Amino acid sequence: MGNCKWIQRLLELNSDRIKYKRQTKNLFVSEQSQYLQLLPQHATLPNNYDKTNKQLSLYQLLTVNGIEPDVNEKVYVPLIPGYIIYTYYGVYLKISLEWNEVQQMIFYKWIDYGDDWKFITEQKSQSLPDNLNSLRNHLQSVPIKYKEKKRITIINSVKNKASKLESSEDIQAGLPIKAEGWNTSSSVTQALGIQLQEVRNELKNTKKKLHRSLETIQKLNAELCSNLDSESEGTISDENNENSNLSSTNTIQLMVNNLIKNGKLGSTIFVNTDIYLTLILNQPCPICYTAEITNKKPSITVNGLGIKIIIKCLNCKATTEHSNESPEMDFSTSIAAAGLVGGVNREEWRSMLALVGITQQSGKSQYFAKQDKLFDGLKNEAVNSAQKALHKVLDKLIENKQFNLEVSFDCQWSHVREAPAASGEFIYNGFLNENDHKSIIGFHVAEKSRKYQKTDGQVVTINEGNHYGSSSSMEHLILITIIEQISPVLETSEIVLDVCIDGDLNSNKTLGSQKIVHKICADLKHKAKNVRAKIAKNNKWKHLESPIMKYYVQCVYAATARANDPNLPTPTEQDLFKMQTEVVIAHLQNNHDDCWNEDKD
């Protein structure tokens, strides 16, 4: 390579070729007569410097050592297929850029001609989109030539140093300088050369580490200065950064929405406590970006199911707050509401939550206070809905010139709020429309108060309640309250009330004292339920349940028939069989000749 015969030959064969010499004294020849292929993909610059981005195979980012590239003002050099160079690096090489139609990427092709300075006999070649990494690996694997080049480079470097030392002082770097040089063997000279290369390699690696550390320090310093300026001014002056942050936030939210959609998740998921706290403590400081755990001072605040983690950065004194609840979510209130909707009392809820590991829960007072806020609203909505339904029913009765409002009274007991409570309702025995359910036209809830005593003797009221009598009197309180609610409307419409009730003597007495009540009817279905319950209490009557209930049904049919004609005989078994089969079948076939006429008394 000393006389550069290969360069002279390449230039003689093609006058369009040009010789270049780099500062490192490396020589190469560029092929200028080759057709360069501009691609449609060159019209778009890469939008981010991601090595997996195929667009980057068309461009090379121009960087300068020690200078951080401007994100918004990057300089890219286009890589154009058809570009070819010839060079020598221990072996004679031809390097070119080619376009791969299949993968839609630029491939780096290299050919190793070995010692053939005429570039005729090919030793090895390869074409990959690897930015010549395969060529680097190949050159380092060449047994002698690559190493020989390094040896020659070291010798030339030492010769230059020797010529400078001839005119220097007698001592350099603490070592004596002799005009005839040191009298050493060739093996010692070889060892000095190897030691020199080892020191160079170590120095090179150290410089790389220092360079990376310097870049990190400069970046953190710039960010710290920027954040301090932002705090002093009170506003962020860099709109580009603000837009970039907004775009990043939108991208994250879009990814979150896609994950929720793909996973079919709701607004809340269970997460292990260790995992949650570990994720929070691993978050870098949003001001100085330090992630060192030793620079963080965490504290925790717990309120029911709500958890707040406050982390103070000891490096920049910034404070960051993390919460397991969104601003519009209160898990403690949601649990209290779920208890009302699902009919689950607090102790059952506590057991279910503890089973899945949620042991930190709301206290009694807090739990029921949250339920009170919701429960009062639910009761008011139920009463308002019943009032609206009552007016619609009365309008229908008046339109049909009917003046008797037939209702059934139903009362249900509940211990959801850990105190004896009951809700009662008047159910209209008719339909406003064909496809409607039976309307509730009266509603009321009665609750007894509930208190408990703490270990220090303090008495805490869980539930105030609205009933202070016995539990057995709650049903009568509800009945009277509903009648008082609807009486003014019925009196104004001149309509009386026919009530069907399960009918103990106290209930009948209660209804009998109400002037708006016209008729009291027994709830035969409820009576049948009571009969079965009494039979079940004694095993000796269990085998008689079927004949007893059969006899009861006969009495029901007889009472119904004699309501119209007191002289009708008691139905026989054949009459009952016909009623239960033939008449029902005829009714299902839309033949109502034997059905009761509801328009008659």
The mean pLDDT value of the chain amounts to 77
C-alpha span between 441 and 483 (Å, rounded): 11
Q: Are residues 450 and 509 in the same domain?
A: yes
Q: Mean pLDDT check: name the lowest of 31-40, 92-101, 499-508, 528-537.
A: 499-508
Q: Are residues 304 and 408 in the same domain?
A: no
Query: With 60 as the cut, is the pLDDT of residue 100 above it?
Result: yes
pLDDT per residue as tens digits for the range 228-241: 666 555 544 444 45
pLDDT at 1: 44
Residue 304: closest CA among 324, 274, 322: 324
Q: Are residues 314 and 382 in the same domain?
A: no
pLDDT at 181: 63
pLDDT per residue as tens digits for the range 56-74: 678 877 776 656 656 566 6
Output 563-572 pairs: Cβ under 8 A, ≥24 positions apart: 563/601, 564/600, 564/601
Q: Per-residue confidence at 146, pLDDT binned at 50, 70, 90?
A: low
In a domain, 188, yes or no: no
Q: Do 290 and 281 contact (CB within 8 A), yes or no?
A: no
293-317: burial string, b at 16+ Cβ within 10 Å, e else = eeebeeeeeeebbbbebebebeebe
pLDDT at 415: 62
Query: With 50 as the cut, is the pLDDT of residue 601 above it?
Result: no
Domain that holds residue 56: 5-152
Mean pLDDT, residues 108-135 taken together: 89
Mean pLDDT, residues 433-452 taken together: 80
Q: Are residues 384 and 263 in the same domain?
A: no
Q: Do 459 and 466 contact (CB within 8 A), yes or no?
A: no
pLDDT at 245: 54
pLDDT at 251: 76
Last residue of a domain, one of 104, 122, 152: 152
> Who wins on pLDDT, 144 or 336?
336
pLDDT per residue as tens digits for the range 476-516: 888 888 988 888 998 888 888 888 876 555 666 777 778 88
Q: What distance separates the 2 farthest-apart alpha carbons in the chain?
A: 152
Task: Report which DSSP code applies to 227.
Answer: H
Q: Are residues 325 and 383 in the same domain?
A: no
Q: Are residues 426 and 310 in the same domain?
A: no
Q: Mean pLDDT check: name the lowest of 62-76, 322-336, 407-421.
A: 62-76
In a domain, 319, yes or no: yes
Bridge-based pairing of strands 517-522 and 496-501 is: parallel
Last residue of a domain, one of 152, 177, 205: 152
pLDDT at 144: 52
- Domain count of the chain? 3
In a domain, 435, yes or no: yes
Q: Which run of H or of E encompasses 249?
A: helix 239-263
Q: Mean pLDDT check: name the lowest of 98-107, 241-250, 382-391, 434-443.
A: 241-250
Q: Do 131 and 95 contact (CB within 8 A), yes or no?
A: no
Q: What are phi and psi of 4, to 5 degrees?
A: 55, 45
Query: With 50 as the cut, is the pLDDT of residue 163 above it?
Result: yes
Task: Report which DSSP code applies to 325.
Answer: S
And the tokens for 472?
């057995």
Q: Are residues 382 and 495 in the same domain?
A: yes
Query: With 90 as the cut, is the pLDDT of residue 535 above it?
Result: no
Q: Are residues 470 and 324 in the same domain?
A: no
In a domain, 100, yes or no: yes
Q: Please give the torsion angle defined by the CA atoms of residues 182, 168, 2 and 194, in that order, rounded to the nearest 10 degrees.
A: 40
Q: Which run of H or of E encompasses 534?
A: helix 524-536
Q: Are residues 13 and 146 in the same domain?
A: yes
Q: Are residues 32 and 133 in the same domain?
A: yes
In a domain, 143, yes or no: yes
The residues near 430 (Cβ < 8 Å, ≥ 6 apart) are 393, 406, 438
Query: With 70 as the cut, is the pLDDT of residue 359 above it?
Result: yes
Q: What are phi and psi of 506, to 5 degrees?
A: -65, -40
Q: Are residues 412 and 534 in the same domain?
A: yes
C-alpha span between 268 and 331 (Å, rounded): 10
Mean pLDDT, residues 240-245 taken together: 51
Q: Are residues 574 and 478 in the same domain?
A: yes
pLDDT at 562: 67
Query: With 70 as the cut, is the pLDDT of residue 183 above it?
Result: no
And the tokens for 317?
């004194």
Q: Do 394 and 407 contact (CB within 8 A), yes or no?
A: no
Mean pLDDT, residues 168-179 taken together: 60
pLDDT at 201: 75
Q: Per-residue confidence at 2, pLDDT binned at 50, 70, 90?
A: very low
C-alpha span between 94 and 112 (Å, rounded): 7
Q: Do 289 and 263 contact (CB within 8 A), yes or no?
A: no
Query: With 70 as the cut, is the pLDDT of residue 221 above it?
Result: yes
> Who wins on pLDDT, 264 or 233?
264
In a domain, 169, yes or no: no
Query: With 80 as the cut, is the pLDDT of residue 19 above it?
Result: yes
Query: How close are the terminal C-alpha atoms of the chain, in Å?
Result: 126
Mean pLDDT, residues 534-542 taken together: 74
The residues near 172 (Cβ < 8 Å, ≥ 6 apart) are 165
pLDDT per residue as tens digits for the range 554-590: 676 666 666 667 776 766 667 666 666 776 677 777 7
CB atoms within 10 A of CB 46: 16
Query: With 50 as the cut, is the pLDDT of residue 600 above it?
Result: no
In a domain, 404, yes or no: yes
C-alpha span between 23 and 287 (Å, rounded): 43
Burial class (CB in 10 A: 0-12, 13-18, 19+), 169: exposed
Bridge-based pairing of strands 92-100 and 105-112 is: antiparallel
Query: With 60 as the cut, is the pLDDT of residue 173 above it?
Result: no
Mean pLDDT, residues 22-42 taken together: 79
Q: Do 256 and 269 contact (CB within 8 A), yes or no?
A: no
C-alpha span between 322 and 299 (Å, rounded): 11
pLDDT at 94: 93
Last residue of a domain, one of 118, 152, 186: 152
pLDDT per residue as tens digits for the range 189-198: 777 767 777 7
Task: Report which DSSP code applies to 586.
Answer: H
